[in-house]
Amino acid sequence: MKTSNEKSLSSLIHLSTLSQYIFPLGNYIFPLILWSTRKDKSEFVDHNGKQALNFQLSMLLYSLIALIIAVPTFVIWLIKTIDRLEINNNIVTCRDVFTTENITGMVILGVITMILLLFMKLGEFFLIIYASVKSANGEEYKYPLTINFIK
């Protein structure tokens, strides 16, 4: 039987990961502090704390992989685009910047990766809300596509 205090704390652990939008690294620090206060006393809080932290670490890993793919493709495209700029009498003109030969597979890959990153962050937001509601109801929730860093 889970007490209302355990349910509330577990829900707060999940919701504290949203602090990433206000404080840098808040999505790791605040859940870690809340989880470490009661992890030994409550199995329910321990489970939810591990889930929240594992999910945040997994999202960090997925985001880093997406950025490793997207940023170099953008930089390469930008360098090629800068080469196509003409400067005459302090007037910059673009010639053939957005042509089919300039939009290569690398650019498409970078755009798709950035769109995937956007959907991943939106999904993260809604999954956090869903997990906090589940834990407030006393149900154990396991985030999808989460790597178990903390066991």
Q: Is residue 148 part of a domain?
A: no
Confidence of residue 61 (pLDDT cuts 50, 70, 90): very high
Percent of the chain with pLDDT over 70: 85
Write down the pLDDT at residue 96.
61
Arithmetic mean of pLDDT over the chain: 86
Q: Is residue 29 part of a domain?
A: yes
Write down the pLDDT at residue 76.
80
Tally of domains in the chain:
1
How far, in Å, CA of 12 to CA of 20, rounded?
A: 14
Q: Is residue 143 part of a domain?
A: no
Write down the pLDDT at residue 90.
67
Phi, psi of 68, rounded to the nearest 5 degrees: -65, -30
Write down the pLDDT at residue 122.
95
Percent of the chain with pLDDT over 90: 48
Domain with 23, as residue range(s), is: 4-136
Q: Is residue 107 part of a domain?
A: yes
CA torsion sign for 5, 19, 57, 127 is positive
Give the single-character DSSP code of 103. S
Q: Is residue 18 part of a domain?
A: yes
In this prediction, residues 86-107 reach a mean pLDDT of 65
Whether residue 59 is predicted with pLDDT greater than 90 in this model: the reply is yes
Q: Is residue 38 part of a domain?
A: yes
Q: Is residue 127 part of a domain?
A: yes
Confidence of residue 107 (pLDDT cuts 50, 70, 90): confident
**pTM higher than 0.75:** yes
